[in-house]
């Protein structure tokens, strides 16, 4: 896959070719390597307009893909693309997800339980203490905290998550080699050790005002919910909240002093329908995060025994009565009842009434019968 990733890297450097055109090229050529090497006539036949076609040709002439990919990996960074199983599933599901993510650090399966915490750069003492009070218990509970590494609320949230022993993800509006703001370079290195720094911009990209709204869209997409602590009327945090709402995420805002400009945007969000955040429990309850994390913990601690495996193999999304299960697996009724109860705790099966059971979720690709 490493050799193929260099072509994804190449297209990420071509002005005018974004998710929609990458998708179109993939459909036409079946492989980005073939698209990268295609002739002008072949690219025209694929429907690539004149300007991005010219940009692609110029980039191909000036960019050594092997050297550029080596520069990326030697710096300790990774590249994820749509073809990678590790590409974040929640991000993959939004409209036009970025074809390429540049990564410093590691993503984890735990990051599926994530909450975005964002807010103003000009944070007040109230905003600082509230950000810490919200972030620490969430991070300590195993919830990944996502933010944008900016001054103010973002940086406070990242630090509080690390101090609580949790994971945190920072999404940049620049290349990984241009940490912004520069005073957060040490914080970025700490995040990369206990989470990841993420960007969809190639190395060498400097921070620019036009880069931050797309960055905010990624922040919202990686999370189950967006929490706005403090935000003025024109704060970028409001853009993140609006993206979250569009993507079907829960949006929370911390109520603030109505005379404080830093709270005007958050209060407006509440007026427009966001959940007022009065306690961390509001988030946990709204998203059933405590239940989800307990189930994940049980799945790790309690491996499937032979009885559980037989039951899982005998169940589907069509209800099956417990008596029929006993006939299928040939085990004593008491053992079947005990195993089903444990599988319910793990979140792997559900009882749908009348002693009938179904799978609660699809078995993962690593599931094997044995």
**Whole-number pLDDT of residue 362:** 42
Name beta bridge partners: 61: none
3-state SS class at 115: strand
- Write phi, then psi, for 110 (nearest 5 degrees): -65, -20
8 A C-beta contact, residue 315 and residue 323 = no
Give me the DSSP letters along 176-188: TTS-SSGGGHHHH
Which of 87, 103, 117 minimizes the C-alpha distance to 19?
Answer: 87
8 A C-beta contact, residue 267 and residue 233 = no
Q: Mean pLDDT for each consecutive 10-residue tract of the chain (370 residues)?
A: 84 95 95 95 96 96 95 96 92 95 95 94 94 94 94 97 96 97 97 97 95 96 96 92 94 92 93 92 77 51 68 83 88 86 78 80 36
In whole angstroms, what is the distance from residue 306 CA to residue 290 CA? 28
8 A C-beta contact, residue 278 and residue 266 = no
**Whole-number pLDDT of residue 301:** 47
**Whole-number pLDDT of residue 229:** 96
pTM above 0.75, yes or no: yes
């Amino acid at each position: 896959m490493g050799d193929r990733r260099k072509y994804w890297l190449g297209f990420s450097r071509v002005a005018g070719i974004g998710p929609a055109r990458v998708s179109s090229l993939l459909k036409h050529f079946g492989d980005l390597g073939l698209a990268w090497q295609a002739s002008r006539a072949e690219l025209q036949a694929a429907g690539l307009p004149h300007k991005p076609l010219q940009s692609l040709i110029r980039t191909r002439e000036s960019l050594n893909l092997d050297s550029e990919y080596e520069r990326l990996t030697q710096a300790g960074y990774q590249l994820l693309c749509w073809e990678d199983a590790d590409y974040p599933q929640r991000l993959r599901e939004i409209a036009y997800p970025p074809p390429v993510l540049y990564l410093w650090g590691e993503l984890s399966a735990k990051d599926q339980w994530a909450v975005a915490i964002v807010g103003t750069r000009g944070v007040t003492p109230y905003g600082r203490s509230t950000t810490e009070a919200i972030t620490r218990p969430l991070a300590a509970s195993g919830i990944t905290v996502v933010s944008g590494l900016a001054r103010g609320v973002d940086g406070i949230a990242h630090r509080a998550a690390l101090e609580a022993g949790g994971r945190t993800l920072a999404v940049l509006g620049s290349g990984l080699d241009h940490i912004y703001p520069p005073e957060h370079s040490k914080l970025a290195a700490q995040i990369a050790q206990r989470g990841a720094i993420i960007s969809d911009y190639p190395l060498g990209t400097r921070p620019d005002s036009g880069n931050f709204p797309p960055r905010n869209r990624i922040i919202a997409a990686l999370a189950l919910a967006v929490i706005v602590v403090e935000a003025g009327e024109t704060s970028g945090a409001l853009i993140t909240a609006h993206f979250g709402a569009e993507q079907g995420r829960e949006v929370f805002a911390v109520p603030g002093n109505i005379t404080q400009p830093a709270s005007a945007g958050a209060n407006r969000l509440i007026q427009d329908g966001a959940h007022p955040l009065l306690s961390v429990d509001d988030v946990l309850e709204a998203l059933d995060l405590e239940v989800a994390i307990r189930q994940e913990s049980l799945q790790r601690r309690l491996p499937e025994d032979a009885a559980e495996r037989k039951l899982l193999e005998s169940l589907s999304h069509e209800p099956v009565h417990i008596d029929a299960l006993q006939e299928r697996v040939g085990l004593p009724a008491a053992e079947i009842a005990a195993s089903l109860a444990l599988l319910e705790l793990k979140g792997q099966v559900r009882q749908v009434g009348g002693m009938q059971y179904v799978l609660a979720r699809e078995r993962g690709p690593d599931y094997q019968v044995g």
